[in-house]
Amino acid sequence: MSEPRGSGAASTALQDRTDGPDASTDAFDLIVIGAGSGNSIVGPEFDGLRVAILDDGEWFGGTCLNAGCIPTKMLVHVADVVTDVDQGGPIGVHSRLRRPEWAEVRDRVFGRIDAISEGGFEYRDQRSPNVTVLRESFGFESLGDGARPHVLVSASGARISAPQVVVAAGSRPRPLLAAYEPDPRIQDSSSVMRLDELPERMLILGGGAVAVEFGHVFSSFGTAVTVAVRGDRLLRALDADVSRRFTEIAAERYTVLTGVSADSVDARPDGLRVALSDGTTVETDLLLVALGRDPNSDTVAAASVGIDLHEDGRISVDSEQRVLSGGRPVPGLFALGDVSSRWQLKHVANHEARLVAHNLLHPGELLSNTLSPVPGAIFAHPQIAHFGLTAAEARDQGLDVVTVTQEYGSTAFGWALEDDSSACLLVVGLDGALLGAHIIGPQASILIQPLVQAASAGTGIRGLARSQYWPHPAASEVVENALLSAEEALRERTT
């Protein structure tokens, strides 16, 4: 079995400290499982506590930094530059760039990312005297009850305990269920960004955000991409109009196969042969599995100690982020991020970390997680941003709503782009409440924010467009005009 990795405090703590409940248990005041958003909890306010941060990952700092949000968006930026030039014909730009140099782009991305990750580990391991970093997998042996601490045990048999534990263990790529033998040409989102060289052909299994972002990246880099999805369109969980628009645009850039899944993968010297559920096969040089992510509750042995789990494996928490067992909060036990959140979004995990930090320090003044709505953004081409209900979801809930669709092409910004496919869609209750917003098009991830602010504040849409200036001729006029259209639609419905 492996020994705990690391140096300094990380490598010596379990040998030097034996002041736990018994001689074989190392006692801490706080244990944080995970070095992503959980790591941010341990600020100066915790300097008086003995803290252990547990991280058995390949990188320190969590998925977002090392294999998720940040490196993908650095790659997406390059892909956007290439695509904007390639698609410049409608505005008179008839040119094509030489394909990007993959190794140069990759090394720029991870030259920065890896330095930050290594620096974060060095700071915690060498320059945080009250923090011990243990780079090994730990699972729960027993839960505390307020009088007794929580106890965890590692793969090598090391035991640690603390009265307070935060589970921020994250999630991992969902594996391929089809029959196949392990092969380096079968990749997931954690590894595909570090390829030595680009494949000529790539098959991506999945139709969600990860699949379409990588479809954008690798197709812009010159790889012949095929995306295969079980549903009838890409991004099916989104608003139907947005999903249809995106699928049509994507199909102009790479091959989109709908209504199929993978049955088996046959590895051959000259490539992979993937048998699909409709009886067809796809020959490819690399298979990217992008079928979603699974919470890491099993890696901490949550079920074995009676922690409540959702059907999808997420740890169940209350509004204060306290872990539940038998429907009741476990004293001193919190969870945050992908291991417990249905959103699997970094900005959600960061907010939950701030809330948990407060609740650890102020057990008599617990804060609840009441932020709503939760926005999401997909950095493909075009961008998509969204929150709240779709029109179909509102109807299914029996809500009486008005919906508006504002095309980018109706604004001066849209004229500049010769845009005929981008739009802002709003779902508004008859009381003026903004129930949902869905944007597909350039700068969508930025344009969504004033709508998030309005929905979060509960101000409704009435007067929102007219109560402030909107720069002309900026992209934000799309949102302004959508709000004005929604107000007019409300007047027609309510008078």
Per-residue pLDDT of the chain in tens (495 residues, 90 and over written 9): 233 333 344 433 343 443 444 558 999 999 999 999 999 999 999 999 999 999 998 899 999 999 999 999 999 999 999 999 999 999 999 998 888 999 999 999 999 999 999 999 999 999 999 999 999 999 999 999 999 999 999 999 999 999 999 999 999 999 999 888 899 999 999 999 999 999 999 999 999 999 999 999 999 999 999 999 999 999 999 999 999 999 999 999 999 999 999 999 999 999 999 999 999 999 999 999 999 999 999 999 999 999 999 999 999 999 999 999 999 999 999 999 999 999 999 999 999 999 999 999 999 999 999 999 999 999 999 999 999 999 999 999 999 999 999 999 999 999 999 999 999 999 999 999 999 999 999 999 999 999 999 999 999 999 999 999 999 999 999 999 999 999 999 999 998
**Within this chain, do residues 333 and 218 fall inside the same structural domain, yes or no?**
no
- Residue 482, domain member (yes or no): yes
Give the largest Cα separation in the chain, rounded: 77
Asked if residue 467 belongs to a domain, the reply is: yes
Last residue in a domain, options 237, 265, 291: 291
Q: Beta strands 186-188 and 286-289: pairing type?
A: parallel
Query: Which CATH number fits the domain that encloses residue 444?
Result: 3.30.390.30
Segments forming the whole domain that contains residue 228: 186-291
Asked whether residue 253 falls in the same domain as residue 313, the answer is: no
Q: What is the CATH number of the domain that holds 26?
A: 3.50.50.60
167 with 41, same domain: the answer is yes
Residues 279 and 299 in one domain: no
Cβ atoms of residues 467 and 460 within 8 Å: no
> Cα(first)–Cα(last) distance of the chain, in Å?
73
Tell me if 180 is assigned to some domain. no
Q: Which two tokens stand for residue 303?
A: 């079920």
Residue 399 lies in a domain: yes
Assigned domain for 434 exists? yes
How far apart, in whole angstroms, are the C-alpha atoms of residue 368 and residue 408? Answer: 38
Q: pTM of the entire structure? A: 0.94
Q: Are residues 431 and 458 in the same domain?
A: yes
* pLDDT of 22: 57
Are 385 and 246 a contacting pair, CB within 8 Å?
no
17 exposure class (CB count in 10 Å sphere: 0-12, 13-18, 19+) = middle
State which of 247, 276, 291 marks the end of a domain: 291
310 closest CA partner among 299, 302, 300: 302
Is 1 inside any structural domain? no
Task: Say whether both 466 and 325 belong to one domain.
Answer: no
Residues 232 and 258 in one domain: yes
CA distance 367 to 309: 22
> Of 244, 262, 291, which marks where a domain is finished?
291
Output the pLDDT for position 128: 98
Same domain, 311 and 339: yes
- Note whether 404 and 459 are same-domain residues: yes
Residues 31 and 149 in one domain: yes
Q: Are residues 283 and 222 in the same domain?
A: yes
366 within a domain of the structure (yes/no): no
Which residues have a catalytic role annotated? Answer: 472
Of the candidates 169, 136, 133, 139, the residue with the CA atom closest to the CA atom of residue 153: 139
Nearest to 447 by CA among 425, 468, 419, 462: 425
Instruction: Give the number of domains in the chain.
Output: 3
Task: Give domain status of residue 118, yes or no.
Answer: yes
pLDDT at 179: 80
C-alpha–C-alpha distance, residues 473 and 448, integer Å: 17
Residues 144 and 15 in one domain: yes
